[in-house]
Structure 1
Amino acid sequence: MMPMRTLRSMLASAAFVGLAAAPAFALDGADLVAKFNAASAANGTTITYDGADVDGDTLTLSNVILKTAAGPGRDLKIGEVTLEGIEEYEDGSYYVETVSLPDVNVSETEGSVSVKDIALGGLSIPANPAGGTIDDILLYESASTGPVSVTAKGKQVFALEGVDANLTRQESDTGFDFDATLKGLKADLSDVEDAKAKDAIQKLGLTNLAGEITMKGSWEIASGNISLGEFALDFANVGRLALAFDISGYTLEFMKSVQEAMKAQEANPNKEEANQALGLSMMGLMQQLTFNGASIRFDDASITKRVLDYLGKEQGVSGDQLAQSLKGLIPVMMAQLNVPELQNQVSAAANTYLDQPKSLTITAKPDKPVPFPMIVGAAMGAPNTMPSVLGVKVTAND
């Protein structure tokens, strides 16, 4: 995606074709990094570097180190970083077409981590991160990696084919849409040391996992509406777990207030006092948020039957017998909550799912948005009203 400012820059350049050439613009690498740090510092990270080599619209930084608020022990040595296709706008902000980072290869006694082909595309660096528009946020248009590998004791235990993430500005720059995919995920759990856990993993057929993780959503700046349409974990021969939520009030001001509260916590040497202060701050900030809806859905891919068989065998019964026992036990457990309508929904959904496991869905969709203070009040004063306050529904195989 080409930002509007890039398009305007191109049109302006075209208008001056034929005029005498002005002296070449000298890119100020130190200024670019300073503004990058000013914007990223809000998230608790900054970078340092030993040298900055400018060649036209390309900036190469040597010996880059990513510093975090956690302290020197958590700093990450990156190495050489190349920024290409850099444009500086009249307001002092920057647009970087591509950012290339070196491969990660970290080895320790017990294992190693490697990440290849790390790159960012369309990096926007604001001139003034204290502003209140989308142009005042450090953003990228795309981020990706190649293969990712984690080894332990000489054996690969985790791998990814790659990661792809994208941010797309909405019309009129009101916000942005985002999506990400972690593809070709593989995990080897054969070397789990705990004997009981290892036995369960083997009997449930979870020794080798393969799947992917996907995410997509949007953020509207003015209203602070964050809609996570999907965060899904999908594994072969296990199932697909998808989460979604929709809240409002997460504005730039709210985000900056959270960041300031976290900075105050990190700066306070008295950690107990710092944590208490952070908790009070977060409780106060949460009052600005509004709940619009949420859902959890699981689509079975044979794991339910294996779990029933495994747990049933532990109790000396078959998986089908355990399922029948659960169908009788669930209504008794739900009755303790004193929520008859929800009890009936859960019992009906459980019966349907246990008879033929396909899908199980829990949704919370109130008739109108619910302020978070109202949710907290209901949870503390009358927890049995929560399902009606949030509009909770439970269904199976739909």
Structure 2
Amino acid sequence: MTHYSTKARLLIAGTALSVFASPAFALDGQDLLKKINAAMAVQGGKLTAESIDISGSTVTLKGTRVSPVATPEELTIGTVTMDGVEEDAGGYSIDKVTFPNINASSEGTTVTATDLTLSGVTVPADATTASLDSLLIYEKAHSGPVNVSVGGKTIFAIAETNATTDVADDDTSLDFAFDMTGIKADLSIVDDAQSKEAINALGLTSLDGKITMKGSWTQNDGTVDVEEYAIDFDKVGSLNLAFSLSGYTIDFIKSAQETAKAMEANANKEEAQQAANLAMLGLMQRLTFNSAQIRFEDDGITTKALDYAGKTQNTTGPQMAQMIKAMTPLVLAQYNVPELQNMLSQAVNSFLDKPESFTVDAEPKNPVPFPMLMGAAMGAPNTLPQVLGVKVSAND
């Protein structure tokens, strides 16, 4: 049997007490919320809670509300649960944030959404620095099924939504991706007779599709590269937008948020709008255009649209296509852009003869500052295609 002296027992007891009572092992819920709001102020919005409960590494915000930036209204969220919360160099890391399901009804319309979570959340210690580690970042945002119904009938639904971010090891850039799958819409409920006729003729009484996006952002020069932003619907087609611009830095984001806040705080809304327009004009001068592309890949909608348009003009789809071909160069001639006129006319002809894809590229030899673009647009709009390096093609 082991015997301890009185002094030894007191030392052991004191050590144990100091370990379990140490602030290092107790989460500060108010500090966590304060730092979340400091980061949200940069990106837009404010979070409030009626009470904060802490149990081990789980923090529960009850009676939670969020105020989006430049909006006086608060949105009620309810109980938000944060699991796996740890202090991290003055900030916090959170394994998972779970939001309550949504079930809201108004005037016969009901909206439901389930399985709403954020994973791998990083709350910065200092949100004032112009660097990636000053941002509130999540690794994954997820939503399960979303349903909108009217009178008990579903008119719009989403099966699942996921958004991810991946910060580079050197903290100088991040990749992002987004996908929304199982999008379904019921357009058969449209009452307007003319719209209903067009919907039926185009075969759009029901829509089934998805939205995907992926890209990257670089901290130092604020370059945003959106490689893909595609809206794809079965039996319609896919519309994809890609673009690259520079100057979208954290300082730019903060300035834009400050402008929005100043506009909201000004009671004279007309004066506030004018001031905001001037401020945004100044902000736009920080941006530089690198490239852009718009591409449409047909999945049957073009032929149906030509047939319907032809019917409204007492003619056929093929004849309507020929009319559009003939009108295109005549319409473009008034803009004095001969090179673009020729490219566009050829592309329209090819696409209407065999609808597959239609692409508009803008890729200047060198990046173009936005002030130069605005100057060309106001002073010599016919030079814009050349300034931007615009090219148009079909079925490539």
TM score, norm. by length of structure 1: 0.93
Q: How does 1:345-360 map to 2 (within 5 A)?
A: 345-360=343-358
The offset of 1:199, in angstroms, is: 1.3
Find out whether 1:64 has 2:96 as its counterpart: no
**SS of alignment partner, residue 221 of structure 2:** coil
Distance between the aligned counterparts of 1:360 and 1:151, measured in 2? 35
The offset of 1:321, in angstroms, is: 0.3
Report what 1:303 is aligned to.
301
The offset of 1:71, in angstroms, is: 5.0
**SS of alignment partner, residue 254 of structure 1:** helix
Deviates more, 1:58-67 or 1:386-395: 58-67
Distance between the aligned counterparts of 2:287 and 2:69, measured in 1? 27
Report what 1:7 is aligned to.
none
Distance between the aligned counterparts of 1:44 and 1:231, measured in 2? 23
Is the 2:69–2:260 contact (alpha carbons within 8 Å) kept by the matching residues of 1?
A: no
**SS of alignment partner, residue 85 of structure 2:** strand
Distance between the aligned counterparts of 1:69 and 1:232, measured in 2? 27
Report what 2:134 is aligned to.
136
Deviations 1:27-73 (A, max 9, x none): 0011101111121123442122122111111111112112234555x
The offset of 1:153, in angstroms, is: 2.3
Report what 1:11 is aligned to.
none
The one-letter code sitting in structure 1 at the alignment partner of 2:251 is E
Distance between the aligned counterparts of 1:372 and 1:309, measured in 2? 41
The one-letter code sitting in structure 2 at the alignment partner of 1:75 is E
Change (3 A) 1:69 1:137: closer
**SS of alignment partner, residue 328 of structure 1:** helix
Report what 1:26 is aligned to.
26
The offset of 1:214, in angstroms, is: 0.3
Deviates more, 1:34-43 or 1:349-358: 34-43
The one-letter code sitting in structure 2 at the alignment partner of 1:61 is L
The one-letter code sitting in structure 1 at the alignment partner of 2:60 is T
Find out whether 1:168 has 2:166 as its counterpart: yes
Distance between the aligned counterparts of 1:171 and 1:89, measured in 2? 17
What is the aligned-residue identity percentage? 50
Find out whether 1:104 has 2:102 as its counterpart: yes
Is the 2:58–2:82 contact (alpha carbons within 8 Å) kept by the matching residues of 1?
A: yes
The offset of 1:193, in angstroms, is: 2.4
**SS of alignment partner, residue 192 of structure 1:** coil
The one-letter code sitting in structure 2 at the alignment partner of 1:36 is I
Is the 2:71–2:264 contact (alpha carbons within 8 Å) kept by the matching residues of 1?
A: no
Deviations 1:244-289 (A, max 9, x none): 1100011111111111111111111111111111100011111111
Report what 1:397 is aligned to.
395
Report what 2:49 is aligned to.
49
Distance between the aligned counterparts of 1:208 and 1:337, measured in 2? 39
Q: How does 1:285-364 map to 2 (within 5 A)?
A: 285-364=283-362
Report what 1:79 is aligned to.
78
TM score, norm. by length of structure 2: 0.93
**SS of alignment partner, residue 124 of structure 1:** strand
The one-letter code sitting in structure 2 at the alignment partner of 1:47 is L
**SS of alignment partner, residue 171 of structure 1:** coil
Report what 2:386 is aligned to.
388
Change (3 A) 1:191 1:308: same
Deviations 1:132-158 (A, max 9, x none): 111100111100011000011221110
- Pick from 146, 152, 155 the counterpart of residue 154 of structure 1: 152
**SS of alignment partner, residue 330 of structure 1:** helix
Number of matched pairs: 378
The one-letter code sitting in structure 1 at the alignment partner of 2:290 is N
Distance between the aligned counterparts of 1:220 and 1:203, measured in 2? 46
The one-letter code sitting in structure 1 at the alignment partner of 2:343 is Q
Is the 2:188–2:205 contact (alpha carbons within 8 Å) kept by the matching residues of 1?
A: yes
Distance between the aligned counterparts of 2:70 and 2:254, measured in 1? 19
Distance between the aligned counterparts of 2:94 and 2:209, measured in 1? 33
Distance between the aligned counterparts of 1:71 and 1:299, measured in 2? 38
Distance between the aligned counterparts of 1:37 and 1:309, measured in 2? 55
Distance between the aligned counterparts of 1:277 and 1:50, measured in 2? 36
**SS of alignment partner, residue 366 of structure 1:** coil
The one-letter code sitting in structure 1 at the alignment partner of 2:120 is G
**SS of alignment partner, residue 173 of structure 1:** coil
- Pick from 357, 363, 368 the counterpart of residue 365 of structure 1: 363
* Pairwise CA RMSD: 1.4
Gap regions ≥5 residues in structure 2 = 1-14
Distance between the aligned counterparts of 2:93 and 2:44, measured in 1? 22
Change (3 A) 1:148 1:253: same
Report what 1:126 is aligned to.
124
Distance between the aligned counterparts of 1:215 and 1:183, measured in 2? 12
**SS of alignment partner, residue 311 of structure 2:** helix
The one-letter code sitting in structure 2 at the alignment partner of 1:41 is A
The offset of 1:352, in angstroms, is: 0.3
Distance between the aligned counterparts of 1:48 and 1:256, measured in 2? 21
Distance between the aligned counterparts of 1:350 and 1:185, measured in 2? 30
Which has the greater radius of gyration?
Answer: 2
The one-letter code sitting in structure 2 at the alignment partner of 1:207 is T
The offset of 1:100, in angstroms, is: 0.6
Deviations 1:334-379 (A, max 9, x none): 1111111100000100000000000000010000100001000111
The one-letter code sitting in structure 2 at the alignment partner of 1:150 is V
Report what 1:233 is aligned to.
231
Structure 1 stretches of 4+ with a deviation exceeding 4 A read 69-72
Q: How does 1:243-262 map to 2 (within 5 A)?
A: 243-262=241-260
